[in-house]
Amino acid sequence: MKPVIAVVGRPNVGKSTLFNRMTKSRDAIVADFSGLTRDRHYGDGRLADREYIVVDTGGFEPDSSTGIVKEMAKQTRQAVAEADAVIFVVDLRAGVSAQDHDIARYLRTANKKVFLAANKAEGMSDSPLLGELYELGMGAPHPISSAHGQGIRSLLDAVLADFPFDDDGEEEEGAGEQAPIRLAVAGRPNVGKSTLINTWLGEERLVAFDMPGTTRDAITVPFERHGQKFELIDTAGLRRKGKVFEAIEKFSVVKTLQAIASADVVLLLLDATQGVSEQDAHIAGYILESGRAVVLAVNKWDAIDDYQRETLERSIAQRLAFLKFAPVLRISALRRQGLGPVWQAIADAHASATRKMSTPVLTRLLHEAVEFQTPKRSGGFRPKLRYAHQGGMSPPVIVIHGNSLEHVTDVYKRYLEMRFREHFKLVGTPLRIEMRSSKNPYADKD
């Protein structure tokens, strides 16, 4: 088993920068801004042959009793509870604060191995300021610089010294396992994305708070259901461009778009009480452009009456007409209503996106479609569609070969798409059709 290392400390001491160093990634958003990280953020790291899991946490205020700071503190306590070791990060240049003492007091009662990391110590390894850190009662501090990578290896050596590490046997054992399905939950701010994931997990894994913009980073959570492994990705809510003021929020938007692009399936969450906005249509458009399989879920369905439901369904049909291939589910994340069918829709969408279609079957379907309805003549040319084959998956791509295919109209392409979808039962995934005309071998000759 890999040891779990939680990184804790007050806001803005460099925890996320240290997390990125330990995981050799840029997964955690880093900026000179207090209270940026809010949820527990997990990552895998390796030092030589030793592997470990790192947990980045939000700025810790143990005695906070109100608001979002209280929710962040709850997340940090949970991270400490499940960790095998804790790295307590302090800012050497700022010195010891009363908040550092509060955190140290809490960690002493947590009964965990705690390693004190004095961050921002570049050029200060022999500084007398290090002596002040002994008053925290956490033992000898490890001077490090997360930003410059100094002292990180010696810190990790100390943290991992008491943990046995496995050979590659465990890795080989899992080599044949099916890759988990990456499921991104996207939508506008405050539609209930974090609440939905917490409901699925059965614990308050993510900060869910009645305030738009609570989630700032794209948080990945491993999950298993009925033997199928998933990676649930909670994304930051996407506002309209004109509403994005903070630089931090711009980072969050980038992270969300990256999460959508790298997902296998995207669950687009709509708010029944707010209706379908222009921003929902923008997010849906980006999902379609990215070629991701998509499922629509209308959250807070229990909070509206019959008239509002009819209006909302008409609005979905009109504003999101370009996603008519996507199933629409009605749910309540808070009341755990309608969640079973969502999993079936996600499984169907993923299966459709990765469906294998044989060349003989595609070609037969193409000929049947042409026989039923021939493509429209353009000038002196009538397109001739000869054969088709699969050109890719996620999303499925069907490549059609023939002559004068540049004259095939968009209407006829939609007709072909409908025929292919119907036969292969493709739901929840875009389907792309490419036309490739044969080159005339005599075209360049006099």
Q: What is the CATH number of domain 178-353?
A: 3.40.50.300
Query: Torsions phi, psi of 32, nearest 5?
Result: -80, 70
- CA 309, 311, 316, 317 torsion: positive or negative? positive
The pLDDT, as a whole number, for residue 283 is 86
The pLDDT, as a whole number, for residue 12 is 83
β-bridge mates for residue 4, sequence order:
53
Task: Kindly list the strands in the beta sheet with 50-56, ordered across the sheet, starting from the edge strand earlier in the chain.
Answer: 41-47, 50-56, 4-8, 85-91, 113-119, 142-143
Architecture of domain 4-172: 3-Layer(aba) Sandwich (3.40)
Task: Kindly list the strands in the beta sheet with 181-187, ordered across the sheet, starting from the edge strand earlier in the chain.
Answer: 219-225, 228-234, 181-187, 265-271, 293-299, 328-330
Q: Where are the beta strands (DSSP E) in 82-132?
A: 85-91, 113-119
The pLDDT, as a whole number, for residue 215 is 44
Residue entry with tokens 């200060």: 124
The pLDDT, as a whole number, for residue 143 is 92
Q: Domain 359-437 classified CATH 3.30.300.20?
A: yes
**Three-state secondary structure string covering 374-431:** CCCCECCECCEEEEEEEEECCCCEEEEEEECHHHCCHHHHHHHHHHHHHHHCCCCCCC
Domain ranges of the chain: 4-172, 178-353, 359-437
Q: Which residues contact 105 (CB under 8 A, 6 or more apart)?
A: 62
Q: 4-172 and 359-437 share one CATH topology? A: no
Low pLDDT (below 50) residues in the chain: 29-36, 38, 169-176, 206-217, 240-251, 446
The pLDDT, as a whole number, for residue 177 is 60
Instruction: Determine the length of the chain.
Output: 446
Euclidean distance between CA atoms 423 and 364, whole angstroms: 11
395 cis-preceded (ω within 30 degrees of 0) = yes
The pLDDT, as a whole number, for residue 390 is 94
CA angle 2, 24, 52 (to 5 degrees): 5
pTM: 0.65
Euclidean distance between CA atoms 222 and 230, whole angstroms: 6
Q: Are 44 and 123 in contact (CB under 8 A)?
A: no
